[in-house]
Every structure is written in C-alpha cells, then in structure tokens.
Amino acid sequence: MNTPLSAYRYAVYLAPTGAWRDLGRRWLGRCEETGTVLSRMVEADPRIDSWTRTPRRYGLHATLKPPFRLRDDQTPGALNRAVGALARRQAPFGLPLQLQALRGFLAWCCADLRGRCRVNALAQTVVAELDDFRAPADANELARRNSLRLSPQQRKMLERWGYPYVFDMFTFHITLTDLLDDRSMHAAQTQLAALGGSTLQIPMHVNAISVYVEPEPGADFIVARHYGFDGSIRDGSGARFMGDV
C-alpha cells in the first residue's frame, strides 16, 4: 500500500451531476475533475472570465465542509475511510435548483423546502462528523473571515467550526460568479438563464459526496475522489492525495 501525499487543504463538496455539471463546467470554463481549461463557445461574452475567476479556481461544487488543513495527528487515508463510511449511510435524492443572487454573487440554490431540508441535513452531518480531521483555523484565517460583516451567530460558528456559514447559517449553493456590481449581475444572470434553458427545470440527482483538494497553497482545487451513497468510488486527478481505496 502506497503512503499518500498530503494536500495543503481538503474540502468535502457536493459535485454537480448530469446536465447541471455540464452546464456549470461550460460556464466556468474549467473541468474540476482534471483541472483542464475548457474552451468556451465562440459567442461567449468575454466578461465571463472576470466574472468567474474565484469559482473557477475552486472548481464547480456546492460546499458541504469548507476547505481545511488536515490535523497533524490525522492522515489522508483515515479521512478517505471516514468519508466513505459516511457516504454509505446516505440515500440518494433529487434536488430542484434555481438561479438566484446570494450575498452579491450568482449561484444555483435550492428551489423547494423538501430539497433544502435534505441537503441541509447532509451538510450538517458532514460538518460535524468530519471535524476531527480539521486543523484549527490559524490567526490569519480567522482575521480574513472576521473582516466580513458577520453576525454574532456567524462569528460563533467561525470560532467553533472554522467557517461562519454552517448549521443554521448554512445556505446550499453552487457558486457561479464572483461578487458583481448591479450591472454585471444583471448581464450574467441573463446569460446564465438563457444558457441553462430546460436544464433549470430538471432536479439535480444527489447520489455522492466528494473530496476536492488544494494540492499546494494557491493552487486550483481538483477532485480527489467521489464517494457514492451505494458504496462506489470514483477517482479524480487528485486521488494521489487520498491513498488507496
């Protein structure tokens, strides 16, 4: 058995599936599985590159457990086993989505209460059960997060869980743009709605959770491994940071 490399940061995400995945990749211009830059359509608006810089770096995803450094007394192999065991206890479900503005950026968010309750429960389980793997946020991380306009409850979450938007503060979303001014927001929203067409009417199938990795500080995130709720495993290009199945 090979000893896996350790990535700078790990994150547990929900990787979009089906038509939502294909549309999101085309919009961001990058494949999160391989890190490959994808060609845009000939008629694509040149502003899209500047609108999508940050989400392109993190890869198409919805956050369940935000990026974290692995604790010194934990290993990638142990994280791999824990995520796999957690995934096998889950059941698949459909998640209707809609395009909306959220805290100044565009995202696909839950479109109904049933889906919101299902995915919120999944996120809470992931955050709590995998927290023993997370190294405490350092002073720089806390200062960066505290520079945001956080409520007292969000600050409490930041101090306890290393991120302000978890549990009662959590809003499921698949980020599609950076922060935009009103004019850019309207233009991007119009283009995304037109690009999506009938895709936006189809619930997204949720049947796995995924570990993405930031191989070294500042590097683009890539998929390490997908963990199916049926026990299946599918590797991305970052699998070397998780160890053997």
pLDDT digits (tens, 9 = 90+) for 10-47: 999 999 999 999 999 999 999 999 999 998 765 778 99
Are the C-beta atoms of residues 85 and 228 closer than 8 Å to each other?
no
Closest CA to 202 of 73, 117, 113, 95: 95
- Report in angstroms the alpha-carbon separations of 13 from 143, 147, 194, 195, 223: 24, 24, 27, 24, 9
For the residues 176-198, what does the mean pLDDT come to?
A: 93
Residue 5: the pLDDT is 85
Q: Residue 129 CA to chain centroid, in angstroms? A: 17
E strand or H helix at 18, and its extent?
helix 18-28
Radius of gyration, CA atoms only, the chain? 17
Cα–Cα distances (Å) from 2 to 10, 35, 69, 190, 240, in that order, read 19, 24, 21, 49, 9
pLDDT of amino acid 42: 56
Q: DSSP alpha helices (H): ranges in 95-181?
A: 113-129, 139-146, 152-161
Query: Using one digit for the tens of pLDDT, what is the confidence trace for 126-155?
Result: 999 999 999 998 878 777 776 668 899 998
- Return the higher-pLDDT residue of 243 and 159: 159
**pLDDT above 70 covers what percent of the chain?**
96
pLDDT averaged over the chain? 93
Q: What is the pTM (predicted TM-score) of this model?
A: 0.94
pLDDT of residue 3 exceeding 80, the answer is no
What residue spans define the domains of the chain? 9-131+165-241
Q: What is the CATH number of domain 9-131+165-241?
A: 3.90.1140.10
pLDDT of 184 over the 90 cut: yes
pLDDT band at 1 (very low <50, low <70, confident <90, very high): low
